[in-house]
């Protein structure tokens, strides 16, 4: 028998060998699919624990999601191989896998992963397009009624940020109460009524889901300049009025002046921000400046300091005393309000909106989008890479709150670890480089007596009796 030029003929698998290999891959794929579904359930539980217990569980949830993705990839490789070898039942198993993968991606809230999982599912089963495009229904009411509603959809921009693009006009949508029929996705509803504060409401519309929302609208004067309404509609939590930007140096200076007027300059000096990390009781605080006895001498802070910067170098107790002073001043003016630090849950909701994004702007990190050590537009002054609080446009959450990713990290009302006496600190800072530090769920904690040039705070306002 003649042989092909070049030596021995390459062996070819017989049809029987291919069929046996297909069956083997199908069995492997089905076992891997069971593992993937277990990993998806564990990831769901881990996210629930993170939502309940806060930042301390965030890393655990991220690991579970990574394990889920790995398990799905392993199952997909085996089942795709089985399908290529025409193993009976391979298509049905792969279809189940891709449905599960899309559901898991939607639960995880990753728009890029959702888009990829959807494309793979439709590649295998194009006839499912109508089912996947089944809209959800939003029944929206406001108190008081008669508000206009603008619908914006969060879409992935070329630079990797999620941007809210207006949808519409939508047929049949009038003043509230009204009904919206929307494709599944992440949205921002903008609610307006003359004389009342405009509100943004981030919302994830589920495929074929029904959402009943009641949004309470507040008078402009009650909300106040510099505050944003974080509505609890759809989340079964109270409304919160959160400051749009962190407390600034000039605002904190007003607090120090009030202490001086009441108790003298020495007492004010005890609350003056510190210039370097202070770790009580081992490293005492060194004040940034000597607070003047004479009111005519001005604030006395170092040359080059900008009063519009966020305050930094304050302890958790300094921040809570500032809130108490704000509350007392408001009540003296006849306002029935209370100021306090946000809880970690309130802070995360204000930063992430409703779709579980990693950063206030989306899932991709770029140091230029916030005030960080590598931000190219930050101008160092006296070694500080700070800018006017609230002016970094890209570092804005779906609610309209700014500087939650960078600028200064922020004290919250909660404990991170009460046994170790660590108060929870949220957000990254101008001193940070690692993208993980800027995530909305990054865990961090400090002794409440500690001060740092990278830590400040913002406040929330409660309208009592509402």
Query: Which tens digits make up the pLDDT trace of 294-313?
Result: 887 788 888 788 999 999 99
Kindly report the pTM of this predicted structure.
Answer: 0.81
- H or E element: which one contains 181? strand 178-182
Query: Which tens digits make up the pLDDT trace of 10-38?
Result: 445 577 788 888 889 999 989 988 988 88
* pLDDT at residue 4 in the model: 43
Task: Decide if 398 contacts 155 (C-beta within 8 A).
Answer: no
* pLDDT at residue 169 in the model: 77
pLDDT band at 61 (very low <50, low <70, confident <90, very high): confident
User: What's the DSSP call for residue 236?
Assistant: T
pLDDT band at 466 (very low <50, low <70, confident <90, very high): low
Helices (H), 54-194: 58-84, 90-108, 111-124, 129-132
* pLDDT at residue 66 in the model: 86
Cα–Cα dist 196/144, whole Å? 10
Query: Which tens digits make up the pLDDT trace of 137-181?
Result: 999 999 999 999 999 999 989 998 999 999 977 777 889 999 999
Mean pLDDT calculated for residue range 422-434: 94
* pLDDT at residue 14 in the model: 72
Mean pLDDT calculated for residue range 91-117: 85
Mean pLDDT calculated for residue range 346-355: 94
* pLDDT at residue 360 in the model: 97
* pLDDT at residue 7 in the model: 43
Burial (CB count within 10 angstroms: exposed 0-12, middle 13-18, buried 19+), residue 289? middle
Question: Lowest-pLDDT range, 191-195, 228-232, 385-389?
Answer: 385-389
Question: Lowest-pLDDT range, 201-210, 269-278, 389-398, 413-422?
Answer: 269-278
Mean pLDDT rounded to a whole number for the chain:
88
User: What's the DSSP call for residue 195?
Assistant: T
């Amino acid at each position: 028998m003649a042989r092909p030029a070049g030596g021995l003929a390459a062996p070819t698998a017989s049809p029987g060998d291919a069929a046996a290999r297909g069956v083997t891959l199908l069995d492997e794929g089905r076992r891997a699919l069971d593992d993937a579904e277990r990993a998806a359930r564990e990831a769901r539980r881990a996210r629930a624990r993170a939502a309940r217990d806060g930042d301390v569980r965030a890393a655990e949830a991220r690991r579970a999601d990574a394990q889920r993705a790995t398990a799905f990839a392993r199952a997909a490789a085996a089942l795709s191989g089985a399908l290529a070898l025409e193993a009976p039942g391979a298509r049905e198993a792969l279809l189940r896998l891709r449905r599960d993968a899309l559901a898991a991606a939607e639960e995880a809230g990753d728009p890029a992963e959702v888009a990829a999982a959807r494309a793979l599912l439709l590649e295998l089963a194009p006839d499912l397009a109508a089912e996947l495009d089944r809209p959800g229904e939003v029944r929206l009411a406001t108190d008081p009624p008669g508000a206009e509603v603008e619908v914006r959809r969060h879409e992935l921009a070329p630079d990797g940020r999620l941007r809210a693009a207006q949808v519409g006009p939508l047929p049949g949508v009038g003043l509230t109460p009204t009904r919206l029929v929307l494709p599944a996705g992440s949205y921002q509803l903008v609610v307006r009524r003359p004389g009342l504060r405009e509100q943004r409401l981030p919302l994830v519309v589920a495929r074929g889901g029904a959402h009943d929302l009641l949004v309470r609208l507040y008078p402009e004067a009650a909300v106040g300049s510099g505050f944003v309404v974080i509505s609890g509609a759809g989340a079964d939590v109270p409304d919160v009025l959160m400051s749009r930007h962190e407390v600034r140096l000039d605002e904190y200076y007003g607090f120090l002046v009030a202490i001086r007027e009441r108790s003298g300059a020495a007492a004010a000096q005890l609350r003056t921000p510190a210039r370097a990390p202070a770790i009580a009781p081992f490293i005492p605080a060194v004040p940034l400046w000597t607070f003047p006895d004479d009111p005519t001498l001005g604030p006395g802070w170092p040359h080059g300091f900008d009063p519009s910067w966020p305050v930094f170098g304050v302890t958790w107790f300094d921040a809570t005393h500032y809130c108490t002073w704000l509350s007392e001043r408001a009540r003296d003016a006849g306002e029935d309000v209370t100021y306090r630090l946000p809880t970690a849950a309130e802070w995360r909701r204000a930063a992430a909106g409703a779709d579980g994004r990693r950063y206030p702007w989306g899932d991709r990190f770029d140091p230029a989008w916030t005030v960080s050590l590598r931000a190219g537009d930050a101008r160092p002054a006296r070694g500080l890479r700070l800018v006017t609080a609230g002016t970094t446009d890209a570092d804005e959450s779906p609610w309209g709150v700014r500087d939650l990713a960078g600028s200064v990290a922020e004290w919250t009302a909660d404990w991170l670890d009460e046994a170790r006496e660590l108060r929870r600190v949220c957000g990254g800072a101008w001193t940070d480089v690692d993208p993980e530090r800027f995530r909305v769920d990054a865990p961090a904690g400090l002794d409440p007596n500690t001060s740092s040039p990278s830590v400040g705070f913002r406040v929330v306002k409660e309208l009592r009796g509402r």
